[in-house]
Structure 1
Amino acid sequence: MVSPERLASMQKSWVRTLDQYRVAPADAYPPFDVLVAAHSAPERHYHNLEHLNEMFRVVERLAPTVENPNALQLAIWFHDAVYDSRAKDNEQRSGELAVDLLGPIGVPASAIERIVRMIWATAHAAEAPGDRDTRVLLDADLAILGASEERYARYARDIRQEYSWVPEPEYRAGRAAVLERFLAAPRLYHSPIMFEEGEQRARSNLRNELAELQSTRGV
């Protein structure tokens, strides 16, 4: 999880972002609290504030390529706002939550529409999106795949914990299918920096986890 100091920094960034839409701090704090509570739920072992923090760091590196940083920041905050490992419509519901929380405090409808489109794209179910900010969002969301072996291993364990309700044989089969889908993609990362630095390591991490899942050894 993130430290109290980092959380305070994230709150300041949130307020600054909404200030660009002329949302007063007093109006910005309540939705922030909702999002922090959602990402701090005990069943969230990976899809939590640490994940958001890691995404923000990636976006900072890719900042020169970003067209609308404010919309992108909000899309990051909301993309996993609703996360239920038993559900198939998390991205849809997260987009709906963005509408419910951002509309009443005065974020323009055009901005919300853009944010929601980016949120829905994090389902990673379609071809590479045309707009640059969505590609940055997707790269940030999948940055964990190209992390160090140690960090990736913790990520894999955390994902397993989020699916603790799934019996081991079924989990292995389902997780293997996800990994194979990633490996079948022509490329995992859209931006040149992410592709250069993380593509090979991400594929190595994915192959290693897949081999472990398919082995006959214990958990």
Structure 2
Amino acid sequence: VQQNKVRSYRGFSFRFASFTQTMSDLITMFGQWDTLTKSLGTTEKVRDDWWNIIVRRYSEEWRFYHTLTHIEQLLQLYNQWKERIAELENVLLAIFFHDIVYDPMASDNEMRSIEVFKKFALDANLTQNVMARISNMIEATISHSAENRQTDLDLCLFLDFDLAILGQDVDVYKQYTENIRREYIHYDDAAYRDGRIKVLTSLLNSSSLYATEELQEEYEKQARRNILEEIASLQSQN
């Protein structure tokens, strides 16, 4: 089983989910964080303190999928589609903070992530409107549904970025499923199988996994194939 690799940067250790990661990946992520915080007008202390928090949180030992690799993947999609995004800073903030709290045994990770984001928002002197907007974007990851698909493209793109993993090649998807299983190691095989099938079936029953036509065209068919194959694999273990 592939192990998370521990590296060190800016004075502390962090974990990526893949041996293919390089130090340049973390430096690139910090570059985007640096640009974002400068555009928000934060101090260097706020920038560095919160960067340390972000890296420490996403490097927690019980994370195998929801790691810095996940953030890196969303940032790559952000860079790919940024010309379609109206409020770049908001989407970046949602990416960095949406999984900052992740406890596989808890059911309120998104709401707790919002509370952590609000602490950053206070330190960064963000407006109440921005605070509310990012909070709503993070909360939307609970159901991964956007009520205003026609008018809220930023939210739709952010949610689609978060689910893009479902539409990856078979080998990438297999690694994703293995990492998710490792995060839920506290469940026995039967309990995990039943719970996972329920989640996957719910996804299949949705009219579309992706809210935007662009990502639907790119990922929908492969995502549904991957999900069906995972369900079949899980059922064969029964």
TM over 0.5: yes
TM-score (norm 2): 0.87
* Counterpart check, 1:76 vs 2:101: no
1:41 aligns with 2:60: yes
How many residue pairs match? The answer is: 217
Match of 2:185 among 164, 182, 186: 164
Alignment of 1:121-132 (within 5 A): 121-124=140-143, 126=145, 128-130=147-149, 131-132=152-153
Task: Tell me which moved more, 33-42 or 103-112.
Answer: 103-112
Structure 1 alignment gaps of length 5 or more: none
Decide which of 163, 168, 171 is 1:142's aligned counterpart: 163
Counterpart AA for 2:98: H
Question: Helix, strand or coil for the counterpart of 1:190?
Answer: coil
Contact kept? 1:128, 1:135, Cα under 8 Å: no
Higher strand fraction (1 or 2): 2
Which amino acid in the other structure matches residue 189 of structure 2?
A: E
Q: Distance in 2 between matches of 1:60 and 1:189?
A: 18
Q: Which residue of 2 aligns with 1:189?
A: 210
State the one-letter code of the partner of 1:207: L
- SS for the counterpart of 1:62 is helix
Measure, in 2, the Cα distance between the counterparts of 1:104 and 1:127.
Answer: 29
**One-letter code of the match for 1:213?**
L
In structure 2, stretches of 5+ residues that fail to align are 1-15
Please say if 1:29 is aligned against 2:48: yes
**CA distance, structure 2, for counterparts of residue 152 and residue 109 of structure 1:** 38
1:4 to partner: Cα distance: 1.9
**1:214 and 2:232 aligned:** no
> Following TM superposition, by how much is the alpha carbon of 1:99 offset from its aligned partner in structure 2, in angstroms?
0.2
Taking a change above 3 Å as real, the CA distance of residues 128 and 183 of structure 1, as seen in their structure-2 partners, is farther
Structure 1 segment 103-122 matched on structure 2, within 5 A: 103-122=122-141
Cα separation, 1, equivalents of 2:117 and 2:82: 23
Q: Name the structure 1 match of 2:197.
A: 176
Name the structure, 1 or 2, with higher relative contact order (CA <8 Å, separation 6+). Answer: 1
| Aligned-pair identity (%) | 31
Letter in 1 for 2:163: L
Q: CA 1:169/1:129 → structure 2, altered by over 3 Å: closer, same or farther?
A: farther
2:118 corresponds, among 80, 99, 122, to 99
Once superposed, what is the RMSD of the aligned Cα atoms?
1.4
